[in-house]
Structure 1
Amino acid sequence: MARHPYRFDRDAAVGDHESGAAEAADRLAAQPQIGAAAAKSAPDSGLPALRVSANRRYLEQAGGAPFFWLGDTAWELFHRLNAEEAAYYLRTRAEQGFTVVQAVLLAELQGVTTPSAAGRLPLKIGASGLPDPSLPDTDGDDSYWRHVDAVLDEASRLGLYMALLPTWGDKFNQMHGAGPEIFTADNAYAYGRWLGERYGGRGHLVWVLGGDRPLSTVAHFAIVDGMVRGLKAGGARQLMTFHPKGAESSSHHMHGEDWLDFNMIQSGHGEREIANDKRVAADYGRTPVKPTLDGEPCYEDIPIGFRSENGYFDAADVRRAAYRAVLSGAFGHTYGHHSVWPMAPEPGLYASTDFVEAGDFFLMGWRQALRRPGAEQMRHLRALIAPHLGSAFRPAPELLASNRSGDNRMASARSERIAWIYSPNGLYVDVDPAALGSGAWSAGWFCPRTGIRSEALPTAIAESGGSVARFVAPGSGRGCDWILTIEEE
């Protein structure tokens, strides 16, 4: 492939592995091209680092401002896009109001065996004949890692934080995917230390361990532990979390780990019922208290259960996942599109590792997918919740005089002087006035499709236990979701 300069067109269970890990790190540092000085990327100076809030329910910037995580899964960003394409992607997501981009350094789709868009591989071949994580290939001005540096610089310039996975999980647990398995506890430590030395000074990064694979053996736990210790030894002081397999949370394996700053859920793509609010609520109730969010819910335009005969998740589904999760206590949410995470070039046949599929698996190319309705509508979630995120923000199921089950299940939360109730299909909402307190309140409807607000007037109805305020939404039906907002006057 043709090579491009790495610049942007701004207009367009763990044993003791210390000895072996130190030896691997020493081998890495001994290479002239990636010695300790050369391994450092220029520190980012644009965005303040993130930290966990005092009540441990959300993230905030270093100055204390609450941070609303509105993420996008761009797993193959570094591997599949050249500099100009990456700039277009980042600029689009920044304009749409996203605050975080989630991407993988050693990507899933043959990320260590197939060259990047600019013709470079991230790792050199080691003595085993496989790509070696302790040998990052930084040769030349057009190396893969110079490309990563430039993408990170551009993200920071646009005000975007980056949630970086050091590797996809198939590189240590190839239960499916391309692999190959290349990690040991020792070279995971060396690779982590190198990453910490190179990127530890960048305030706009969050580290995401794991990568969509379970930790099934002692060796898997040792690899994650080694990588964490390496990152910290290299100087990484950014927040850390863990990306689990589908239908699971990082809390399953890692909640008790001191390095896990917040939990990440992957509610995933296999369940027709959007039930991520239940996983958020489970994490919210765990001790020690840690923030949580859904870092990979159902993607827009992905076949349900990965089978096109089941139909596809659409904008209504991704909105439902977003509002249910946040109003159940998540400190933000991650959106995703099925053609964006792999940077699919076009609809039709797309052959790479697991994905040798007919054209009904990827419905469009990534550029078109950037403007899908669900992506455009995520800005309304941020606009509604971000100004009120803080120590008073909490789930508030007591607001509901009654709830429904299944597809019509509602979620509710409150903060200072304001409360929200999400109705997925626009059915009426029964509010318990006693739960609001004794002050005067006014209500309105917020449309998650447009961001438009309208008045909401209650109808008082008699119940055996007291009065109930019923609010009838402006419309109802599939895809006709509404948020009832109640504000103290």
Structure 2
Amino acid sequence: MHGPITVHSDHRTLLRDGTPFFWLADTCWSAFTNITDEEWDHYLDRRAEQGFTVLQLNTLTQWDRCGAPRTRHPFATEDGIRYDFTRPDPAYFAHAQAMCRRAVDKGFTLALVVMWCNYVPDTWASHIFPDNVLPEELVEPVVRTVCETFREFNPVWIVSGDTDFKSEAARTRYRQVTELVEQYGPGLPKAYHICGRSADLPDWFADHADFYLYQSGHNRAGQDCTFTLAEQFAARTPRRPVINSEPCYEQMGFSHKEYGRFRRSDTRRALWQSLLAGASAGITYGAHGVWNWQRDNAPAQQLIRHPGEEPVHFGEGFLRALSWDKALTFPGAADYAFARRFWLERAPALPEPCQEILAAYTPQVRAARWGQEIVIYLPVNAPLPLQGDWSGYTAEALDLSGAGTRAPVSLDVQADGTTRLGMHPFYEDALLILRANPRA
């Protein structure tokens, strides 16, 4: 089992067992409730083969998971929805502990959410479904149980899940949870998973975090958050490593049931825009069907009826996912694994954003100095003007669509003093890599 993740003295790099560590996570939020032992072993083998290093899991029930009825529950329940928090199920926590043991034996670091926002008063999720807000007097025993169950695995404690901090009630509760985690799971790194497209992490929580997580999310109109939030968190005080811990998921439908799904090219764009804009400590991948553990014949939602009450829909609300075994084969996972290899080849150097070299400011194009190289993510094939004379450099394009093909790119100094990077020959997005010519 690996030791706990620590933070390098540069305040930007994560370390594991003393060496630079790239956070390549997969979101499998509902693992402890929805997955059979055989499925879990298959999942671990597959993600290990692909090079993933971190698993983001929810310690309690993921409120918006697939609505499949065969699930395990951490607390006594009569309807599979509402919990009696005074009656934790020891078998649930023992089984989750056994699942974690198999995961760390495979080399994974676990990033465990302590309390998703639906259990917390006055958050966006508890407004939708208020029946499972954890009573204040039960916060301490629940957090203690979570920490005592999982602390032996050296996890990252993700204190909050998909939360906003807009109300004093929510902030007070998460301050309480943070202090309890520090008491019952000491010496382990902490972070906060906040809601999509938000940089709202109050100063108290920033001071208690070891690194910053943000969520660029699943709203089609909000995809520029991949780089705008990276820039905001990278500039924040205190300085911390930054990770986009929930970009758009491959094959997930757009938020608010807007027609369409995010494809491989969308998830790849989110990846490179995040890394080169300041979220340089790693990246999280998500496959729609894996995070919620969808099965072919299982409903995406459950409809729960109680006498005298309106029916309650419980489950995830996006376009229906393909089954978990199909989602586990989505090709975008390979793009994220490639990014980890690219990062490790250049470690300990990290990308330093340098948008100022672009003569025509196009924010979707991201430029960074990375050691001795300039790395530019070009989402659309077009000539790219650079500030100044780059005739002392050579440039090549790396095809990101899966083939890994490389091709030279022309650099032509213009009469106005700028340099024109020519078009590369590839059909989709590419990395442009500029290196100083040793003969110049």
Q: Same fold by TM (over 0.5)?
A: yes
After superposition, where does 1:291-330 map in structure 2 within 5 Å?
A: 291-308=241-258, 310-330=259-279
Gaps of 5+ in 1: 1-45
* 3-state SS of paired residue (1:385): helix
CA contact (8 A) 1:78 1:116 kept: no
Q: Which residue of 2 aligns with 1:225?
A: 175
Select the residue among 102, 115, 140 that pairs with 1:154. Answer: 102
Identity across aligned pairs (percent)? 25
Q: Which residue of 2 aligns with 1:473?
A: 424
Select the residue among 250, 260, 265 that pairs with 2:209. Answer: 260
CA contact (8 A) 1:329 1:413 kept: no
Q: Which residue of 1 aligns with 2:89?
A: 137
Q: Which residue of 1 aligns with 2:295?
A: 345
Q: Which residue of 1 aligns with 2:283?
A: 333
Q: Which residue of 2 aligns with 1:168?
A: 116
Q: Does 1:483 align with 2:431?
A: yes
Q: Which residue of 2 aligns with 1:426?
A: 381
Q: Which residue of 2 aligns with 1:66?
A: 20
* 3-state SS of paired residue (2:152): coil
Q: Which residue of 1 aligns with 2:308?
A: none
Relative to the length of structure 1, the TM-score reads: 0.78
* 3-state SS of paired residue (2:220): coil
Q: CA deviation at 1:185?
A: 4.3
After superposition, give the CA deviation of every residue in 1:452-489 in whole Å (9 maximum; x if it has no partner). 1413232313142x24141321134xxx1000012345
After superposition, give the CA deviation of every residue in 1:184-204 in whole Å (9 maximum; x if it has no partner). 44432332233333332323x
* 3-state SS of paired residue (1:472): coil
Q: Which residue of 2 aligns with 1:11?
A: none
Distance 1:344 1:196, change over 3 A: same
After superposition, give the CA deviation of every residue in 1:70-108 in whole Å (9 maximum; x if it has no partner). 111111111100111111112211111211111101122
Distance 1:285 1:463, change over 3 A: farther
* 3-state SS of paired residue (1:288): coil
Q: Which residue of 2 aligns with 1:31?
A: none
Q: Which residue of 2 aligns with 1:387?
A: 345
After superposition, where does 1:60-209 map in structure 2 within 5 Å?
A: 60-63=15-18, 65-109=19-63, 117=71, 120-124=72-76, 131=83, 133=85, 136-138=88-90, 143-173=91-121, 174-175=125-126, 178=129, 180-203=131-154, 205-209=155-159
Q: CA deviation at 1:50?
A: 0.7
After superposition, give the CA deviation of every residue in 1:398-455 in whole Å (9 maximum; x if it has no partner). 33232325xxx20111222122100011222333456x7x9x6432222222261413
* 3-state SS of paired residue (2:201): helix
Gaps of 5+ in 2: 303-312
Q: CA deviation at 1:255?
A: 6.4
* 3-state SS of paired residue (2:208): coil
Select the residue among 219, 239, 243 that pairs with 2:189. Answer: 239
* 3-state SS of paired residue (2:249): coil
Q: Does 1:283 align with 2:241?
A: no
Distance 1:279 1:447, change over 3 A: same
CA RMSD of aligned residues (A): 2.8
CA contact (8 A) 2:231 2:278 kept: yes
How many residues are aligned here? Answer: 418
Q: Does 1:51 align with 2:6?
A: yes
For 1:393, give the aligned amino acid: P
CA contact (8 A) 1:49 1:62 kept: yes
CA distance in 2, matches of 1:342, 1:356: 8
Distance 1:152 1:256, change over 3 A: closer
Q: CA deviation at 1:68?
A: 0.9
Distance 1:457 1:48, change over 3 A: same
CA contact (8 A) 1:116 1:144 kept: no
CA contact (8 A) 1:55 1:391 kept: no
CA distance in 1, matches of 2:147, 2:337: 32
Relative to the length of structure 2, the TM-score reads: 0.86
CA distance in 1, matches of 2:192, 2:134: 17
CA distance in 1, matches of 2:27, 2:277: 22
Select the residue among 431, 437, 447 that pairs with 2:399. Answer: 447
CA contact (8 A) 1:381 1:448 kept: no
Q: Which residue of 2 aligns with 1:32?
A: none
CA distance in 1, matches of 2:379, 2:149: 45
Distance 1:484 1:232, change over 3 A: same
Distance 1:84 1:433, change over 3 A: farther
Q: Which residue of 1 aligns with 2:307?
A: none
CA contact (8 A) 1:444 1:453 kept: no
For 2:339, give the aligned amino acid: L
For 1:411, give the aligned amino acid: R
